[in-house]
Amino acid sequence: MQELKEKIEKYGTVLPGNVLKVDGFLNHQVDTDLMYKIGQEFAKHFQNQGITKIWTVESSGIAPAVMTGLAMHLPVIFARKHKSLTLNDNMYTADVYSYTKNTTNRISISKKYVDKGEKVLLIDDFLANGQAVEGMMEIADQAGVEVAGAGIVIEKSFQPGGKELRDKGVEVYSLARVKALTDDGHVVFN
């Protein structure tokens, strides 16, 4: 998506540890016009597949997921993140290691909002090692829910998540694919 790539080039900054900071339009301040177009793009790609709901993980996935839900006229669930390991019979849970924060969070989705036989589209802001998407897939598995695919705003293709998911047969659709973050702060696209 050309407009997204231009925003990344203009406002993205490269942090140590191969982290791309995009606080100016995605992760802190949200560019709503851009996010609206992102939602429409995901909706177009995943249309006519019988998708019943959008899933994401709080908090950075919420903006693109809600815009996708709006475009598809579908509800959005954002999995909650907990530091402590609270066990709860009413929740589906999975453990997710956070690449950027170097911590493991337990993510959870309430059973109340999941019906058997559903087909969900997973949305996230970044794809790096694939942990967040894998965590949502684990929950889908527990819940007997089919996964239509994953819509990713920015995939860091030099990290293994995208390849691993595609090798498993998951339809991963990324709007910008970054193949390198250079030492002098440049973003190189695929």
Compute the least distance from the CB of residue 116 to ligand 5GP, in Å.
26
161 forms part of the interface with ligand 5GP (CB under 6 A)? yes
132 is in an annotated binding site: yes
> What DSSP designation does 69 have?
H
Vertex 72 angle, CA 69 and 74, to 5°: 55
Exactly one of 34, 41, 60, 66 binds ligand 5GP (CB under 6 A); which one? Answer: 60
- 41/125 with CB nearer ligand 5GP: 125
Pair 149, 121: CB distance under 8 Å: yes
- 100/115 with CB nearer ligand 5GP: 100
Backbone angles phi, psi at 146, to 5 degrees: -85, 145
83 is in an annotated binding site: no
Between the CA of residue 14 and those of 46, 60, 82, what are the distances in Å? 31, 18, 28
Burial track 96-116 (b if 16+ CB lie within 10 A, e otherwise): beebeeeeebbbbbeeeebee
Compute the least distance from the CB of residue 27 to ligand 5GP, in Å.
5
In whole angstroms, give the CA distance from residue 157 to residue 45.
Answer: 20
Residues 6+ apart with CB under 8 A from 13: 20, 21, 185
128 is in an annotated binding site: yes
CA 175: distance to chain centroid?
11
155 forms part of the interface with ligand 5GP (CB under 6 A)? no
41 forms part of the interface with ligand 5GP (CB under 6 A)? no
Exactly one of 34, 91, 132, 145 binds ligand 5GP (CB under 6 A); which one? Answer: 132
Name residues contacting ligand 5GP, limited to 61-120 (CB under 6 A): 98-100
- 3/164 with CB nearer ligand 5GP: 164
Site residues (vs ligand 5GP, CB under 6 A): 19-22, 27, 60, 98-100, 124-132, 156, 161
